[in-house]
Every structure is written in structure tokens, then in C-alpha cells.
Amino acid sequence: MTPPSPSGDILYIRPLPYGPAVRIRRTSATGEMPITAVLEVDRRYGTPREHQPGFPPPLAQAEGGTDAEVLEKLHGFAEDDQTIVRMMRERGLR
């Protein structure tokens, strides 16, 4: 598991074997309650386009009182490649 980014928006990131990365990103502003975060697959990860603006469609969303709480709710999904593939297929993203 990668530590949170300096900007604080990315709570978790894990590269997938075939190139993209699964990440959990906080979508609520700092100090806003409840804290919301989404699970997404960043297909630009590791490419020259990685830092261009835009966000992929969310696969799941969670709310909680702390970053750790929303991370805990989404982490199990983020660690399971089969679940990620299934979620992407269900949403027509793969």
C-alpha cells in the first residue's frame, strides 16, 4: 500500500499487473464532513498523460468520519483484482 500523496487526495494507490492503477481518492474538501472517497482505476497511470486533468468513473464510493474510515470501507475491493475487473465490466468500462 502506498502512503497518501502530499496533496492528500489519494489515500491509496496500487499498480495493476497490466498497467493501470487502482486508487482510492478523497473527493470531499479538506475539513468537509462527512469525508467521501471513491474507488477508481486510473488507466493513465505510468504514462506521459498520467498528470493531465480528469478523473476516471468511480467504481464505488464510501463516506465516513475520517480518511482511515473511508479507506477501510474501500480497501478490500481495491486489493482484489477479480473484484476490480468485475466492477469495471458491470459499468461498461472494460
Which residue's C-alpha cell is 482511515? Answer: 68
With respect to residue 80, please indicate whether it lies within any of the assigned structural domains: yes
Q: Give the Cα separation of 76 and 91 in Å (integer).
A: 19
Residue 81, domain extent: 10-90
Number of domains in the chain: 1
Residues 6+ apart with CB under 8 A from 50: 42, 44
pLDDT at 2: 43
Q: The C-alpha cell of 47 is what?
A: 504514462
With respect to residue 40, please indicate whether it lies within any of the assigned structural domains: yes
Give the neighbor-by-neighbor strand order of the sheet with 10-15.
10-15, 21-26, 35-42, 60-64
Residues 6+ apart with CB under 8 A from 72: 64
pLDDT at 4: 42
The segments of the chain whose pLDDT lies below 50 read 1-7
pLDDT at 58: 95
With respect to residue 20, please indicate whether it lies within any of the assigned structural domains: yes
With respect to residue 4, please indicate whether it lies within any of the assigned structural domains: no
pLDDT at 80: 94
With respect to residue 43, please indicate whether it lies within any of the assigned structural domains: yes
